[in-house]
Amino acid sequence: MKRVLSFFVMCLLPVFVVFGGPKSKANKETERFRYELECVNNGTEGFYLVKVWSFSKKANVAAEQSKKNAVHGVIFKGYVGKSGCVSQRPLAKTPGVEYEKAAYFKEFFKDGGEYMKYVTLTEGTREIVKIGKEYKVGVVVSVAKDDLRKALEAAGVVKSLGSGF
């Protein structure tokens, strides 16, 4: 009996670590894409400089997932301008494209996925606010919007700017 029990522990423990550990929980929280996006500065040509506020029960999880949230926001939400910033519409203007291309976006936003090519964290710009039992973490990131648009056009997610209406 001990051998059978130890066999199951040895086999199931790695499965729990891979599928049920902290990374998995972070990904489940991120899949809801609960965040706020605001303009920090107009940035350089081809880039958006934004602050993304991510929410989680653990501050380090929110900070880590902020890169996914920033790219998701540029693709699907856009942001409102404020002093010194211009409002930006989302890159994907077709309603429901996120669900129509769900398989593409699942792969795109997986850990270490393609989204990582288009986002860079800015050093020393982390803000943490405790709200009840969770944290709201603000991180400034740079999103390569021109390169991101080209990749989304190539994947058939968004129409090219020259395609007309």
Joined together, the tokens standing for residue 109 give 């936003």
Q: Domain containing 51: what range?
A: 22-158
Residue 6 lies in a domain: no
How many angstroms separate the CA atoms of 128 and 22, rounded?
20
Residue 11 lies in a domain: no
Q: Which of 53, 56, 59 is nearest to 77 (CA)?
A: 53
Residue 1 lies in a domain: no
Residue the block writes with tokens 């107009």: 42
| Total of domains in the chain | 1
Alpha-carbon dihedral 99, 116, 67, 70, rounded to 10 degrees: -50
Residue 10 lies in a domain: no
Could you tell me the pTM of the whole model?
0.78
Residue 164 lies in a domain: no
Residue 163 lies in a domain: no
Render each residue's pLDDT in the chain as its tens digit; 165 residues.
Answer: 444 334 333 433 333 333 344 555 555 554 568 999 999 887 788 999 999 999 999 988 888 899 999 999 999 999 988 877 888 999 999 889 999 999 999 999 999 999 999 999 887 778 999 999 999 999 999 999 999 999 999 999 998 776 555
